[in-house]
Structure 1
């Protein structure tokens, strides 16, 4: 009997790395992302795994309606059809109201929509994949860690590549390499005529590290995998 994705993670029956391998056929550390198509597939797989390990359900955790998630899986991971129905069914069961079941960000709908619309307004090209990624990035930006971590990526370098590839006009505006999440909100404020910062220059600001500090650390996928392995060994 196939166990829904969320249930498998909750019971420890499958690890994040195992789900990534089922989606892509390789271990996360061995992913070959040299060409753009392979990179996009890697990004989507990482985001699915990150959402699957969260409390919201996969569709809600990605900011996608279940039908859009089904289309994404069918287009990018057709061999993993067994995951499609279980993910959608689990997502529909995961919340107490229609908003969560429809895959929207329940806690901060307006914030999610503003960031998603900012990305869509600066997309490099039209298409379903860009629409999915705009929603996914916006939804994962609501999480508390570095954005690259909450997307399940291996480093900030991968996030920057994602934004340069799919949202180049917006990416090009980040000329000082500001942290991406901070940059999104600063751009939204400036577009609305507000000033986010109290100081006229960044160099003398007490929050310089908040905006521009290095975004390094162990990836979310690696942390979860280490936690599971530690629990199993006890």
Structure 2
């Protein structure tokens, strides 16, 4: 570390060099001495590297090769910038799943548009294509019939030929690991309406279902 003093020597490197040379000549054998510019550059380099090590930041770039060599030793990059990656929900993500309810029924949509529950594990109408249409919002489509799961204003579930706002559902993972699906478009008295299958495998009206009730809980299962 260099020590700076407020004197004439500080402002006149040539004077400091002459004084040092005279002292060295009187004390012993002669050794080549560095120039005043080299001494200043060395002190400045030490200060920059020390500051960068303490604060964790890279020293500013200067046009001297020694600084670039020292900087490479503390893992700095002058040309590349690090950008924070985004891990937001990917729009357009598609999953093939069977929605298995906590009441032990698979949600299915037949070719007539009727929504029902079945205990048959590999029933064709129960294989669903779950597509992310925005963050936390999905569209559910029967692979075999091509019909979209939809909910009416009154909370009735049905299969829709065309995709429309009534086919959007908010997907949420509950504390027990099951998913709930609430209509994005419709509410009843300000409360969310959920996709639900009762104890007999029949769909319940959305306004009669509650988030914490097992009839609204579904486990997306991989097709076997």
Identify the structure with the greater helix proportion: 1
**Structure label with greater radius of gyration:** 2
Identify the structure with the greater strand proportion: 2
Q: TM-score, normalised by structure 1?
A: 0.22
Of structures 1 and 2, the one with the larger relative CO (CA 8 A, separation 6+) is 1
Q: TM-score, normalised by structure 2?
A: 0.23
